[in-house]
Structure 1
Amino acid sequence: MNLLRRIDAGVALAPLLIFSIGAVTLLSTSSDRVTNQLFFFSFGLALYILAALIDYEFYKHYWFVAYGVVVALLALTYLAGHVVGGAARWLNLSLFTIQPSEFAKVAVVIFTASLISTLKRRSLNPTFLVRLTALFLPVLFLVVVQPDLGTAIILLLIFVGILFYAGVNKIYFVLAFVVLGLFSSPIWANLHDYQKERIIVFLNPTLDVAGSGYNVIQSTIAIGSGGLLGRGFGHGTQTHLQFLPVYWTDFIFAAFAEEWGLVGVVCILVFYAALLVSVLRISFKVESSFGSLLCAGVFILFFSQFGINVGMNLGILPVTGIPLPLVSYGGSSLVTSLFLLGLVQSVWIHRRGR
């Protein structure tokens, strides 16, 4: 009972409500997928509880373990990855596959928060930043070469976001953008054709209505046809008639919006807002630098993934294959999300001076 009084209600209840939205949407379209997702959720919930019970300071001292395991898994994916759609992002474990790039999000949050928290603010000098970036780049590189540009963007946002939150001198961010601008041409030249196509079609979906533009067009049709109250459970025509592509992962937001309408969309926005506000509040309230940075990293992860996924469903951002946290089908993403939220809960439960 003492433990129950110390938990944060928002970080405990909001994930359950958000997951239920994904489960209902999957149930509407595929009983097999919802069964698998419930299994993944059970495993993820166990990790959530375990992470919440263990003092989060434990991870600060063993960040290198998470880092080493993730780099090894990403390298193994490059050498012997399970290829789907031309990308080697998965490792086949016979009974199921795992996506190491999802675990990379955990490693980046932990090692970045851990190393920064060991320094005083005035110690965030160029030498330290170069060393920290040197640790981050191998992870980023191994994700980019899979190729998984979407996850690479998320990892970069987490890394830069934690640095910004930690109070790194803003001039370094300006310099980084200048360097990025200088290398924009070779970066574009080295993108895969399908990645270039997605960006071009994002600017004008009508250029390829039967190809890359098809996904965005069908997604916006699904969302628009939902109206105020939606078509009802199991009655989404775009989904059930197979017009909407990958409605269980990338475009699950559109599938949900079609069946539950604007009212359903408002509900999911409220649930996500409650979760994000809870995580950010904990980040501001705790005295521990590591705990605060850890929560900031989780906030950036959830906020950016939610924004990018909804943005590409609405056609205002390019399609990058970013899942909707706790909603999209996929064991690695779901388990990772729950574990990270367990870490946030641990920060609150084990806060100093409570």
Structure 2
Amino acid sequence: MLEPASLKERIRAEAERIGFVTCGFARADAVPQAGEALRAWLAEGRHGTMGWMEERAGQRAHPQSLWPEARSVIALAMSYAPGTDPRALEGAPDHGRISVYAQGADYHKTVKKALKALARFIVDSVPSQLKVFVDTAPVMEKPLSAAAGIGWQGKHTNLLSRSHGNWLFLGVIFTELELEPDEPGRDHCGSCTACMAACPTGAIDGPRRIDARKCISYLTIEHSGPIPLEFREAMGNRIYGCDDCLAACPWNRFAEQAQANRAFLPRAELVAPRLADLLMLDDEGFRALFAGSPIKRIGVKRFLRNCLIAAGNSGDPSLRPHVERLRSDEDPVVAEAAGWAAGRLTA
């Protein structure tokens, strides 16, 4: 039987070999305050239309509510650090800006495959029960990762690492093994408010306080209805997600693309796509372009809505024919966005 300390070091070494840049350990009951913060956030309605967060809030609040046998949590992170500043396309309004995380392969599949490989290694080393999670389950990965010492939650609410910045995909393993916890991550944000100042819509209205209803990532990905008028101009040419608060963080100076998993390197056609081309997509073309991408899940109609808002903000009259064609779209949300964009391009 392996000693717990020896097992931890073997797990860390295997995690690094598989492609994770950092690995930490915490008790399953390490973050009781996270559940309280979640309930307060939900009570304020800051989750918008993400009803799934409210429906499984009880399980999300505590690992042992999801799996009573959990004793320890292994927190892991995989880097997707970009090679260039994601804000560079701000000055190219005829092109769409896609969040860095969605320019490569779907992280759910890549991270989960690596988690399963690490899980097999653990079970082979010490026969035991465990469960792996990446994003889609009701698990609070960020507070657990901070408790496990692999970083801390920045003022933008995302996990930050002194070695890898904030370009991190998180995954966790719940295990029935009793593993010695690591020291929790220390907050190194200090007085910096760069991420808060960078938010185009003011969605980060206090340190670690974010209102999803104002967040461009929420509006372009999770929200299915019309984009509220007050946020359309601020969207600029962002058509899927927003990286501004992440890109503004000074700790990213330590994040290098060489650290990134190669699966997350950007596909050339998604780095700076032309709005004119995107506005011509039908369902078949959309599925072909975004095969293997997390963008595929929002569907062509929601994607066209986003592209139409970007077109309306572009000031480029050459996009007018593409916009006009969509004014008669069968989807009322697309048709409304096209009407708004057409009005902006003729104003």
TM-score where L is the length of structure 1: 0.25
Q: Which has the higher strand share?
A: 2
Q: Which has the higher contact order (CA 8 A, sep 6+)?
A: 1
TM-score where L is the length of structure 2: 0.25
